[in-house]
Amino acid sequence: MFAPRRIQHCRACGASTAYRVPADDNRERAICGTCGEIHYENPINVVGTVPVWGDQVLLCRRAIEPRHGLWTLPAGFMELGETTAEGALRETDEEAGARVELEGLFTMLNVVRAGQVHLFYRARMLDTRLDPGPETLEAQLFRENEIPWDQIAFRTVRQTLEHYFADRRSGAFGVHVGDVA
């Protein structure tokens, strides 16, 4: 996952940068000592889905670090040139090879320590064909009582799954906003 990297050199001219507060600002930014370029660093979005087939949810077992071998919902970094929904669909295709139809934003979870916001959409699977990509060891459908709760890769995935099953029992799906410490 992402951790803010300290910027040592200017992206415009390559000279050394130093962290200080610009004149009209109140936070330290990496500023170029030669050309004056100011480098802003901001949280980034992770976008994914809760793919559902009947009473089952699709999870992917990670083939990459961090959390190699643990289970996750399909999700990854949002890219320039796409919407949050397009990114969620792309990750669902890349990681699981699943064909889904989005059914609405479901969770927005802040992970401040990682500088991330995780956004999950509910998604209806159109069939059960799967074709996991290189980042996934295997993709598998789970009923609620089969979920490997002690092998979930990320807390935002755990919270999203918990919200999903709770809302399904209540009969109404909301949008859940929260923070992960």
Provide the binding-site residues for a second copy, judged by CB under 8 A.
Answer: 4-5, 7-16, 24, 27, 30, 39-45, 77-85, 104-105, 108, 110, 112, 115, 117, 119, 134, 175, 177, 179
If DSSP codes are grouped into helix, strand and coil, which group holds residue 113? Answer: helix
Residues 6 or more apart whose Cβ sits within 8 Å of residue 165: 144
The residue among 33 and 148 lying less far from a second copy, judged by its C-beta, is: 33
Q: Does 38 help bind Zn ion (rule: CB under 5 A)?
A: no
Tell me whether residue 115 or residue 158 sits nearer to a second copy (CB atom).
Answer: 115
Q: Which does 134 bind (CB under 5 to 8 A by kind): Zn ion, a second copy, none?
A: a second copy
Q: Is 112 in the site for Zn ion (CB under 5 A)?
A: no
Instruction: Report the residue number, 41 or 55, with the smaller CB distance to a second copy.
Output: 41
**Alpha-carbon gap, residue 114 to 163, rounded angstroms:** 22
| CB-CB contact of 71 with 95 (8 Å) | no
Can you list the positions of beta strands (E) in 63-175? Answer: 71-72, 75-77, 100-111, 116-125, 136-142
18 touches Zn ion by CB under 5 A: no
- Please give the DSSP secondary-structure letter assigned to residue 4: P
Q: What is the DSSP letter of 75?
A: E
In the complex with a second copy, the residue whose CB is nearer, 99 or 122, is: 122
Pairing between strand 176-179 and 100-111? Answer: parallel
Question: CB 170 → a second copy: shortest distance, Å?
Answer: 17
> Which residues, 6+ apart, have CB-to-CB distance to 136 below 8 Å?
60, 61, 62, 63, 95, 96
The one of Zn ion, a second copy, none whose footprint includes residue 115, by CB under 5 to 8 A per kind, is a second copy
8 binds, among Zn ion, a second copy, none (CB under 5 to 8 A by kind): a second copy
Positions touching Zn ion (CB under 5 A) are 10, 12-13, 15, 32, 34-35, 37
